[in-house]
Amino acid sequence: GENVEQHPSTLSVQEGDSAVIKCTYSDSASNYFPWYKQELGKRPQLIIDIRSNVGEKKDQRIAVTLNKTAKHFSLHITETQPEDSAVYFCAATKNSGGSNYKLTFGKGTLLTVNP
Amino acid sequence: ETGVTQTPRHLVMGMTNKKSLKCEQHLGHNAMYWYKQSAKKPLELMFVYNFKEQTENNSVPSRFSPECPNSSHLFLHLHTLQPEDSALYLCASRRQVDQPQHFGDGTRLSIL
């Protein structure tokens, strides 16, 4: 089955700096990669996603890049703010095979933005 | 408003009790999920239902029993739980494979 590795497990940055979280996946057939943000005591919320037919997607201060050859994708947050502090999860899935409704999550990255 | 509603939000129960968690979505999604989230641990997939059929049971102990009567409702029946089962239980739903999962707010379960 799919295996998703996420690094780093914790990340501390100063307000205004950029933050980068990286994930690798094992199944080359995976073709959908969402990122979720989970604030303390709250539910995970989708912040951005990317499909395998594109290499990069941007939404204001957040961007995701995908390298299918290397099987890794990354979340980039620019001009970080204290409210960006949360746990971020990457995930991967594919639309074929018996597990086509299963999303495999990384272990999460605790991002702390220091004011 | 997430579109996925979980009840109750908090539950405290003894190890001999029987209780049920409920999840409801009115997003027209076809797949529903149960996840367990413990402190400092990643999301652990428990069960997946696709068009009311269970397609995944991630080696979950039998003291957890899921039920999916229709594509809008999902239950997790609990009995004789252990203290290590204390966690946040999250429900999610998704329309199709390349669409994001929408999570509920979760049920915070504490086993005494």
Q: Do B42 and A106 touch (CB under 8 A)?
A: yes
For the segment A33-58, what is each residue's pLDDT rounded down to a tens digit? 999 999 988 999 999 999 988 899 99
Residue B62, pLDDT above cutoff 70: yes
Q: Do B103 and A89 touch (CB under 8 A)?
A: no
Q: Quick one: pLDDT at residue B53?
A: 81
Of B30, B50, B98, the CB nearest to A32: B98
Residue of A75 and B48 predicted with greater confidence: A75
For chains A and B, count residue pairs whose Cβ atoms are closer than 8 Å: 58
Give the distance from residue B79's alpha carbon to the nearest chain A alpha carbon, in angstroms. 25
Q: Quick one: pLDDT at residue B57?
A: 78
Residue B96, pLDDT above cutoff 90: no
Q: Do A102 and B94 touch (CB under 8 A)?
A: no
Alpha-carbon distance of B86 to B109, in angstroms, equals 5
Q: For B61, phi and psi rounded to 5 degrees? A: -60, 150
DSSP strand pairing (B64-70 vs B73-79) = antiparallel
Residues from chain A that touch B96, judged by Cβ atoms under 8 A, are 95
Alpha-carbon distance of A96 to B3, in angstroms, equals 27
Average pLDDT (A80-88) is 97
Q: Quick one: pLDDT at residue A82?
A: 96
Q: Do A101 and B50 touch (CB under 8 A)?
A: yes
Residue A18, pLDDT above cutoff 90: yes
Alpha-carbon distance of A32 to A81, in angstroms, equals 28
B56 touches chain A (CB under 8 A): yes
Q: Quick one: pLDDT at residue B93?
A: 94
Cα-Cα-Cα-Cα dihedral sign, residues A93, A4, A113, B40:
positive
